[in-house]
Amino acid sequence: MAEARAEARSGSVVPACLFAWLVPGAGHLYLGRRGRAGLFFGTIVALFALGVTMDARLELHLGLDDPLAFVIGVGQVMTGLPYFLARSLGHVLGDVKSATYDYGLTFTAVGGLLNVLVILDVHDIAVGRKS
């Protein structure tokens, strides 16, 4: 355990976690884990892109009156730059009448929530708890 902590780079925790949020997999790439970086980038971006093509709504719900909408919105934002890129390209409201609307919401939220787990993995690697 002490060897793993000695291997951790000093001051690499915050940038690694920030990179991991901005671009899925970038935190692992920053820490030299190229295989994991590619796997996480491909998986999370594919989930999010599929959700957007399924007419998902990309709108952050900040009220606590609907907890599920809040979790979905936060999950989507946790995808990082893909979320902001999709919003800037006009994929905001989605199409509620679409048969795939609910699937799209689920895919985009799951992609973001998976990225939260990836960020936690980057944190553990950066502090030396995990190799």
What average pLDDT does range 55-73 have in this prediction? 90
Q: Can you give the pTM of this predicted structure?
A: 0.87
Instruction: State the average pLDDT over residues 67-78.
Output: 93
Q: How confident is the model at residue 5 (pLDDT cuts 50, 70, 90)?
A: very low
Measured between alpha carbons, how far is 46 from 102 in angstroms, rounded to an integer?
17
Helix, strand, coil tally for the chain in percent (to 5): 65, 0, 35
The string of pLDDT tens digits covering residues 79-117 is 999 999 999 999 888 888 999 999 999 999 999 999 999
pLDDT score for 48: 97
**pLDDT given at position 64:** 84
Query: Into how many domains does the chain fold?
Result: 1
pLDDT in tens, 11-61: 689 999 999 999 999 999 999 999 999 999 999 999 999 999 999 999 888
Quote the pLDDT of residue 6.
45
Domain enclosing residue 81, as ranges: 2-127
DSSP string, 29-65: HHTT-HHHHHHHHHHHHHHHHHHHHTT--------SS
Tell me the three state secondary structure of residue 99: coil
